[in-house]
């Protein structure tokens, strides 16, 4: 193994844009409860690679990326949706965002898919006002071989609209 490994830790702060729809018969609320996190990994060569965190929490890599089982662990972003008394919602999001490093540099994140489908998907929420519908979101992080060691942060925006 190369002793000049660069360790990168990823914390992605999630933000959400949502519409609170107040009708006499329906109300939509959305809460972001967990940020997407790619965990700790090591860049072992100059070619770079990718890290994918699935909406199910799985984590894989390509290229010169070595996945480490250190804290923090990989996890998808999770949003909780409550539409009373239920119905369909659509999700839209920018499919790419940039993350900024604590020591300089930037990485590109491709957002999605979600457990409910790709960008533009429409799905039903629970009709019981006391039950929350979860939305898990994964993504793929592109790490160039020239990435600077550090913690990278950014945000992703998901718009959830009542249909």
Q: What are the residue ranges spanned by the domains of the chain?
A: 6-162
pTM higher than 0.85: no
Overall fold of domain 6-162? Immunoglobulin-like (2.60.40)
Candidate from 2-6, 35-39, 82-86, 133-137 with smallest mean pLDDT:
2-6
Q: What is the pLDDT of residue 66?
A: 94
- What does DSSP say about strands 65-68 and 150-153: parallel, antiparallel, or unpaired? unpaired
* Per-residue pLDDT at 157 exceeds 90: no
Mean pLDDT of all residues belonging to the chain: 84
CA distance 76 to 58: 9
Q: In angstroms, rounded to a whole number, what is the distance separating the alpha carbons of residues 120 and 106?
A: 27
- Look at residue 12 in the predicted model and tell me its pLDDT: 43
Q: Determine the pLDDT at residue 13.
A: 41
Burial grade of 69 (CB within 10 A; 0-12, 13-18, 19 or more)? exposed
Q: How far apart are CA 56 and CA 131, in angstroms?
A: 20
Residue 6 has pLDDT above 80, yes or no: no
């Amino acid at each position: 193994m190369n002793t000049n490994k660069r360790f990168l830790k990823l914390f992605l702060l999630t933000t959400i844009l949502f519409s609170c729809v107040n009708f006499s018969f329906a109300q939509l609320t959305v809460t972001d409860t967990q940020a997407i996190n790619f965990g700790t990994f090591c860049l072992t060569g100059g070619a770079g690679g990718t890290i994918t965190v699935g909406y199910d929490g799985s984590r894989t890599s390509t290229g010169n990326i070595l996945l480490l089982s250190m804290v923090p662990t990989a996890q998808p972003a999770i949003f909780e949706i409550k539409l009373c008394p239920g119905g369909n919602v659509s999700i839209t999001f920018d499919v790419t965002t940039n993350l900024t490093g604590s020591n300089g540099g930037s990485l590109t994140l491709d957002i999605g898919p979600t457990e409910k489908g790709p960008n533009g998907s429409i799905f039903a929420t629970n009709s019981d006002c006391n039950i929350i519908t979860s939305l898990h979101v994964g993504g793929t992080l592109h790490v160039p071989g020239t990435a600077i060691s550090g913690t990278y942060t950014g945000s992703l925006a998901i718009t959830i609209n009542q249909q």
